[in-house]
Amino acid sequence: MNRFLVATTGALFLATTGCGNTEEPEKKECQLEAFDLSACDRSGFATVKTDGIWHVNVSLSGSTTPGAMSLREQGFLFGVALTERQLGGDTFFLGSDFQPTGYQPLRFALAGCQSSTPDQVKGEFRRCVSGAADLKGTFEAVRLSRLAGEAEASGLELVSEVALPRGSPVDVFVAGGYAYVAAQADGLFVYKLDGTAVPEKVAEVTPVNDIWHQVWVKGQTLYVSSSVQGIHVYDVSRPQAPKWLKTLPSSAVEVWGLFGEGDRLYAMSPSPRAEVLIYDVSAPESPLLKSRYIVEDSNPNASELPFGGMAFDNRLYIGHWRYGLAVADVTDVTKPSSLGRFRYENATSRPVAVGKIGNQTIAFESSEGWGSRVRALDVTDPKNITELGRYELRPESTVSGLTLVGSRLYVAHNVDGLRVLDVSDPRNLRPVAYYNTWRETDPGRGRAFLDGLSGVKVPGDGLIYATDTSRGLLVFREP
């Protein structure tokens, strides 16, 4: 699975779709009649719920790409408007058509083969370029609904909620009485906080042809990670009027994860070199680049790329996608060195939280995508990392954010909302509270797999701050 476009259509848009010879007769290999469904048991389609929001996992030659579809009135398949639907009787068929500028027309098609329950469909997937199939595989789709037996909330209280003026929020950082919310292509929104009232928007910064992912604030300086420029640095001594200072590094790179520890700032840069940029920010407005660390035995061509992580006790823990969890010694920040790794089959490592539990150093690492789960790893000896416990809900919901405070782990679990775990015993990650933030009727649902609760921070003021891709900035309290 490719991390870069999983929020929309995953690897399904990545293959070449050049202009080609448009004079050849157009094929129709993504039409229903082109699929051989003779061996399928389609009797279950009569009871399939042909509405709502669904998550879809496409398998192509051993790799998987999760996506989403909406069967509401204005439906979508992999982020593209539905142009054909044949649903009913013994048929489940969907098609969506898209023509990128300067390229031949694309069509995505799903042809159902079987349905064991009204909320589940399996079948064949195809992508066609000018009618000719260039990708073929299988899919499984699940209609989203609340986990059985759960209420809206247990053990958590929603204090306030404010929708962003536009955009899809993915991260929040709280400092000095303000919340700084990153909203991808729509940039940054700044909110003044009042524990007894709805946060008030006081500023916004809109990027030009860029996507912003994560935010960090040190003193009166704000850093935001950028897909195009690397790191943008702002003076927020007046949060109502952020002042741009500079962009780092001198040559533009892609940056996703961004986090600080003390006088250091770490930036996860998957492209072009699959590296971690480490800055000295003892003078916050003038970051000094100390090193560009590439995990020694990683292979970027195998999608072993840094996306998330954190630092703890002079060790750097990197969610390194296909590589798994990487651990490095950063005692000498100019010469980071590998200490160990934790690998697992089909790794998609991104969110990481680390701390002391008893006399052990525990890293909580999560895969991202279909089949996501949180792992509690004993990293006390990085050369011999062992898995102690794990937490998982259902394969169609993914973990996008982790925050550890003492022995409580706060999990942003996308369509399964905010989850709070007691991790005092890493062998038994015990759920103690939840809030189901995802609602099918919210605007924008069904366009992307990465949908729902996207980030969570617990700054120590007695409140929990989270972002939801549709609902905006949410503030919670644990009674």
Task: For residues 310 and 264, give the distance between their C-alpha atoms in angstroms, rounded to a whole number.
Answer: 11
| Confidence band of 359 (pLDDT split at 50, 70, 90) | very high
- Scored b (16 or more CB within 10 A) or e, 179-202 reads bbbbbbebbbbbbebeeeeebebe
2 pLDDT more than 60: no
Share of the chain above pLDDT 90, in %: 91
206-234 pLDDT, tens per residue? 999 999 999 999 999 999 999 999 999 99
Single pTM value for the model: 0.94
| Three-class secondary structure of residue 412 per DSSP | strand
94 pLDDT more than 60: yes
18 pLDDT more than 80: no
108-140 pLDDT, tens per residue? 999 999 999 999 999 999 999 999 999 999 999
pLDDT score for 7: 39
Task: For residues 306 and 318, give the distance between their C-alpha atoms in angstroms, rounded to a whole number.
Answer: 6
Q: Kindly report, as residue ranges, where domains of CATH 2.130.10.10 are found in the chain.
A: 153-477
239-264 pLDDT, tens per residue? 999 999 999 999 999 999 999 999 99
Task: For residues 371 and 107, give the distance between their C-alpha atoms in angstroms, rounded to a whole number.
Answer: 27
Beta strands in 219-285 (DSSP E): 221-226, 230-235, 243-248, 258-261, 264-269, 275-280
Edge-first strand order for the sheet with 408-412 is: 153-154, 430-435, 418-422, 408-412, 401-405
pLDDT score for 11: 55
Q: Is residue 365 within 8 Å of residue 337, measured between CB atoms?
A: no
| Confidence band of 298 (pLDDT split at 50, 70, 90) | very high
399-409 pLDDT, tens per residue? 999 999 999 99
Q: Rounding to the nearest 10 degrees, give the CA dihedral for residues 15, 17, 21, 23.
A: 120
29 pLDDT more than 60: yes
3 pLDDT more than 70: no
The structure tokens listed for 59 are: 């398998």
- Scored b (16 or more CB within 10 A) or e, 90-114 reads ebbbbbbbbeeeeebebbbbbbbbb
Q: Is residue 418 within 8 Å of residue 410, measured between CB atoms?
A: yes
Bridge partners for 215 per DSSP: 224
147-172 pLDDT, tens per residue? 999 999 999 999 999 999 999 999 99
Edge-first strand order for the sheet with 325-329 is: 308-312, 315-319, 325-329, 337-342
Task: For residues 459 and 215, give the distance between their C-alpha atoms in angstroms, rounded to a whole number.
Answer: 14
Whole-number mean pLDDT of the chain?
Answer: 94
Look up the CATH number of domain 3-143.
2.40.128
232-238's contacts with Cβ under 8 Å and 24+ in sequence apart are 233/285, 233/287, 234/205, 235/285, 236/178, 236/180, 236/190
Q: Kindly report, as residue ranges, where domains of CATH 2.40.128 are found in the chain.
A: 3-143
pLDDT score for 9: 45
Neighbours of 87 (CB within 10 A): 15
| Confidence band of 4 (pLDDT split at 50, 70, 90) | very low
What's the CATH class of domain 153-477? mainly beta
Beta strands in 61-105 (DSSP E): 63-70, 76-77, 80-88, 91-98
Task: For residues 229 and 253, give the distance between their C-alpha atoms in angstroms, rounded to a whole number.
Answer: 6
Residue 377 identity: L
Q: Which residues contact 97 (CB under 8 A, 6 or more apart)?
A: 80, 83, 105, 106, 107
pLDDT score for 66: 97
Residue with tokens 């660390």: 293
187 pLDDT more than 50: yes
